[in-house]
């Protein structure tokens, strides 16, 4: 699946909720079920410090594709982290660098990407792209 | 529904009207022209200063310096009193309860001048340990700077005892009253505070205006901070002589519109009796405390008897950000996070709290809605 196909799939999944409470319950469920973050990666250099919540992000390159794992101390943040990983992980650096992340706006969670929220998510997306850029440079070098 | 009053207050209409009136009827730069408008505006500005003087019972109106807020007031003291009178290895005592605005200016001074910061610890209830404080006072102590009321926990500190103990050793004391002046009457003369600082926007007044009260003698000894217009007596390229108090510390055009608004906010607040304000806020605090404690897994941080209408809490393992986001979705504004008081959070080993803070315009019905929301969110996260 391409990045956009995955985004469209998430938009579809979220379209069934007409009540914010159901939507957030689903987001909490997604957050709670995010696994795969290796404790050895819970280190200072992977930490994205927000004023409100914290995010740990690790990226690895395998066969020309970037794989992310992440965690957060707040579940709602973690739910969005999980969605971002689902969309971005497993793609080539160029695809990640060119990606237009429209799904967050479409599923009505744009407010969580506002810098004023200070929850680490804006910096997380930046950091995901930084990984892609670093791996791209490495591959070309 | 607004329960984030410890961050900033909503403004009464009379305050807003007073500021609109300045801009529409008599706006003019103060202390400048000989013209009519300037005189009217200057008088209104100086009248606001006198209202503040009376509000905190200062001996003289020129002991009331307008600043941009509590933070600037503390920075002013650190940059003038601190620069002029503190030297390497001199000590400043602060407390574990302080807002970052009463920590960082002293750390910056420490980095510039090599002073030492000493910290009064707190107990599990969020009260300052006074015996520890007394043992920190020494010949090296040059200033004590503590909050009157903790912004994160609501603890009302025994500032009278703190000041007495310091004065017994001739040490001046700065009190950060940002979270105090709107909750109960403050009398700087009776307290014998050397410096007392607070913000307008937490006192039903506008943003961008605050107060530094200082004893005349101290303020006269202190060098000015910002240089510019209004703070001078005469300027040549060789030498400048400084203006007298309070103008020495008010370089440039002050925010006279907000100062006039602050004067109006004080009129508004003092139109109620302090007994009524204290009683009503206590009633809200007790009501909310009792109801919140009945929520399963809820823990309150800051459990001293002597506290202002602020409740910091966590429910089970729910992260304060998650609680804040969900309450926001329900239309309830509370503060979440470390409240610019990270050392307090570290003391309790938590990332932050959810903080509900009440003002005189809040009601028990609003508290009921908060409790209902917290319970509902608790169920979702279970």
CB-based contact B258:B266 (threshold 8 Å): no
Does residue B145 sit in the same domain as residue B43? yes
Does residue B50 sit in the same domain as residue B171? yes
Candidate from B318, B321, B381 with C-beta closest to A52: B321
Q: What pLDDT shows up at residue A114?
A: 74
Q: Chain B closest CA to A25's CA: distance in Å?
A: 7
Q: Chain A closest CA to B98's CA: distance in Å?
A: 18
**Residues of A in Cβ contact (< 8 Å) with B322:** 28, 74-77
Residue B79 maps to a domain: yes
Quick one: average pLDDT of B19-37?
Answer: 91
Q: What is the largest CA-CA distance in chain A?
A: 50
**Residues of B in Cβ contact (< 8 Å) with A51:** 337-338
Q: What pLDDT shows up at residue A120?
A: 75
Quick one: average pLDDT of B3-29?
Answer: 97
What are B120's strand-pairing partners? Answer: B95
Quick one: average pLDDT of B351-371?
Answer: 97
Give, for B354, the enclosing helix (H) or strand (E). Answer: strand B353-357
Residues above pLDDT 70, as percent of chain B? 100
Q: Chain B closest CA to A46's CA: distance in Å?
A: 18
- On the question of pLDDT at B66 being above 90, the answer is yes
User: At CB < 8 A and 24+ separation, what contacts does B43-52 make?
Assistant: B44/B256, B44/B260, B44/B263, B45/B254, B45/B256, B45/B259, B45/B260, B47/B260, B47/B263, B48/B259, B48/B260, B48/B262, B48/B263, B49/B246, B49/B259, B49/B263, B51/B263, B51/B266, B51/B267, B52/B211, B52/B262, B52/B263, B52/B266
Candidate from B320, B321, B380 with C-beta closest to A25: B380
Q: How far is CA B275 from CA B94, B290, B305, in A?
A: 31, 22, 18
The model's pLDDT over B214-272, given as tens digits with 9 standing for 90+, comes to 999 999 999 999 998 888 888 888 888 899 999 999 999 999 999 999 999 999 999 99
How many CB atoms sit inside 10 A of residue B274's CB?
A: 12
Nearest of A79, A69, A77, A72 to residue A26 by alpha carbon? A79
Q: Do B322 and A119 touch (CB under 8 A)?
A: no
Q: Which of A51, A98, A114, A126 is catalytic?
A: A51
**Residues of A in Cβ contact (< 8 Å) with B7:** none
Provide the number of structural domains found in chain B. Answer: 2
Q: Chain B closest CA to A89's CA: distance in Å?
A: 25
Q: Chain A closest CA to B330's CA: distance in Å?
A: 9
Does residue B217 sit in the same domain as residue B282? no
Residues 328-347 of B with CB under 8 A from A: 329, 336-338
Q: Could you give the residue numbers annotated as active site of B?
A: 340
Does residue B290 sit in the same domain as residue B195? no
Q: Do B319 and A28 touch (CB under 8 A)?
A: no
Task: Give residue for tokens 């429910």.
Answer: B315
Q: Report yes or no: A30 at the B interface, CB cutoff 8 Å.
A: no
Q: What pLDDT shows up at residue B233?
A: 87
Residue B339 maps to a domain: yes
Domain boundary among B215, B243, B270: B270
Does residue B248 sit in the same domain as residue B315? no
Q: Do B324 and A20 touch (CB under 8 A)?
A: no
What value does the mean pLDDT of chain B take? 96
Look up residue B120 and give its two tokens. 């009064």
The model's pLDDT over A20-49, given as tens digits with 9 standing for 90+, comes to 999 999 999 999 999 989 999 999 999 987
pTM: 0.93
Q: Report yes or no: B321 at the A interface, CB cutoff 8 Å.
A: yes
CB-based contact A66:A60 (threshold 8 Å): yes
Residue environment code for B210-243, b if the CB has 16+ CB neighbours within 10 A, otherwise e: bbbbbbeebbeebebbeeeebbbeeeeeeeeebb
Does residue B60 sit in the same domain as residue B175? yes
Does residue B226 sit in the same domain as residue B310? no
**Residues of B in Cβ contact (< 8 Å) with A74:** 319, 321-322
Q: Report yes or no: B326 at the A interface, CB cutoff 8 Å.
A: yes
Does residue B42 sit in the same domain as residue B154? yes
* Contacts of residue B47, Cβ cutoff 8 Å, sequence gap at least 6: B260, B263
Residue B380 maps to a domain: no
**In whole angstroms, what separates CA A44 from the centre of its chain?**
19
The model's pLDDT over B272-329, given as tens digits with 9 standing for 90+, comes to 999 999 999 999 999 999 999 999 999 999 999 999 999 999 999 999 999 999 999 9
Domain boundary among B270, B303, B318: B270
Residue B2 maps to a domain: no
What is the C-alpha separation between A37 and A70, in angstroms, rounded? 6
**Residues of A in Cβ contact (< 8 Å) with B352:** 52
Look up residue B299 and give its two tokens. 């823990």
The model's pLDDT over A75-133, given as tens digits with 9 standing for 90+, comes to 999 999 999 999 999 999 999 999 999 999 999 888 887 777 767 788 889 999 999 99
Q: Do B329 and A53 touch (CB under 8 A)?
A: no
- On the question of pLDDT at B79 being above 80, the answer is yes
Look up residue B180 and give its two tokens. 């105090």
Domain harbouring B325, CATH code? 3.90.1150.10
- On the question of pLDDT at A61 being above 90, the answer is yes
Residue B1 maps to a domain: no
The model's pLDDT over B194-220, given as tens digits with 9 standing for 90+, comes to 999 999 999 999 999 999 999 999 999
Domain harbouring B84, CATH code? 3.40.640.10
Per domain, the residue ranges of chain A are: 3-140
Which sign does the torsion angle of CA A23, B324, B201, B311 carry? Answer: positive
Nearest CA in chain B to A49: B351
Band of pLDDT at residue B11, cut at 50, 70 and 90: very high
* Structural domain boundaries, residue B364: 274-372
Please name the CATH architecture into which domain A3-140 falls. Answer: Alpha-Beta Complex (3.90)
Q: Do B321 and A21 touch (CB under 8 A)?
A: no
Q: Report yes or no: A25 at the B interface, CB cutoff 8 Å.
A: yes
The model's pLDDT over B87-131, given as tens digits with 9 standing for 90+, comes to 999 999 999 999 999 999 999 999 999 999 999 999 999 999 999
Q: What pLDDT shows up at residue A52?
A: 81
Q: Do B381 and A75 touch (CB under 8 A)?
A: yes
Q: What pLDDT shows up at residue B323?
A: 96
- Burial classification of residue B61, based on how many CB atoms lie within 10 Å of its CB (0-12 exposed, 13-18 middle, 19 or more buried): middle
**Residues of A in Cβ contact (< 8 Å) with B355:** none
What are B118's strand-pairing partners? Answer: B93
Residue B5 maps to a domain: no
Domain boundary among B230, B251, B270: B270
Q: Do A52 and B329 touch (CB under 8 A)?
A: no
Most B CBs within 10 Å, among A25, A75, A114, to test the B interface: A75
């Amino acid at each position: 699946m391409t990045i956009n196909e995955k985004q469209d799939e998430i938009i579809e999944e979220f379209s069934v909720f007409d009540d914010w409470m159901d939507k957030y319950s689903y987001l909490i469920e997604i957050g709670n079920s995010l696994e795969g973050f290796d404790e050895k990666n819970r280190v200072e250099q992977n930490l994205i410090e927000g004023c409100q919540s914290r995010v740990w992000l690790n990226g690895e390159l395998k066969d020309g594709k970037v794989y992310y794992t992440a965690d957060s101390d707040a579940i709602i943040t973690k739910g969005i982290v999980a969605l971002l990983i689902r969309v971005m992980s497993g793609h080539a650096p160029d695809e990640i660098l060119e990606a237009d992340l429209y799904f967050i706006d479409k599923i009505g969670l744009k407010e969580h990407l506002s810098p004023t929220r200070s929850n680490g998510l804006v910096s997380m997306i930046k950091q995901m792209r930084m990984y892609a850029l670093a791996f791209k440079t490495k591959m070309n070098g | 529904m607004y329960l984030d009053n410890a961050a900033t207050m909503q403004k009464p209409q009379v305050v807003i009207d007073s500021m609109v009136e300045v801009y529409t009827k008599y706006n003019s730069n103060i202390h400048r022209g000989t013209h009519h408008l300037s005189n009217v505006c200057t008088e209104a500005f100086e009248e606001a200063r006198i209202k503040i003087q009376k509000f905190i019972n200062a001996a003289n109106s020129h002991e009331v310096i307008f600043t941009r807020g509590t933070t600037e007031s503390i920075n002013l003291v650190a940059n003038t009193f601190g620069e002029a009178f503190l030297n390497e290895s001199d000590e400043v005592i602060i407390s574990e309860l302080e807002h970052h605005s009463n920590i960082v200016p002293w750390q910056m001074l420490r980095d510039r001048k090599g002073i030492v910061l000493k910290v009064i610890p707190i107990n599990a209830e969020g009260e300052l340990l006074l015996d520890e404080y007394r043992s920190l006072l020494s010949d090296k102590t040059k200033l004590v700077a503590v909050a009157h009321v903790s912004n994160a926990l609501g603890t009302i500190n025994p500032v009278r005892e703190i000041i007495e103990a310091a004065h017994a050793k001739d040490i001046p004391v700065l009190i950060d009253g940002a979270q105090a002046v709107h909750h109960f009457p403050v009398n700087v003369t009776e307290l014998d505070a050397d410096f007392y600082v607070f913000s307008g926007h937490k006192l039903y007044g506008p943003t961008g205006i605050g107060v530094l009260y200082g004893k005349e003698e101290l303020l006269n000894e202190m060098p000015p901070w910002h240089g510019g217009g209004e703070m001078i007596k005469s300027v040549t390229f060789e030498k400048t002589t400084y203006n007298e108090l309070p103008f020495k510390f008010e370089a440039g055009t002050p925010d006279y519109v907000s100062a006039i608004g602050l004067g109006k906010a004080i009129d508004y607040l003092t139109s109620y009796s302090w007994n009524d304000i204290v009683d009503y806020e206590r009633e809200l605090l007790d009501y909310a405390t009792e109801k919140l404690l009945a929520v399963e897994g809820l823990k309150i941080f800051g459990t001293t008897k002597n506290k202002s209408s602020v409740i910091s809490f966590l429910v089970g393992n729910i992260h304060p950000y998650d609680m804040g986001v969900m309450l926001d979705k329900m239309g309830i504004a509370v503060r979440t996070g470390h409240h610019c008081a990270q050392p307090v959070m570290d003391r309790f080993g938590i990332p932050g709290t959810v903080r509900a803070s009440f003002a005189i315009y809040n009601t028990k019905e609003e508290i009921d809605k908060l409790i209902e929301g917290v319970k509902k969110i608790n169920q979702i996260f279970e």
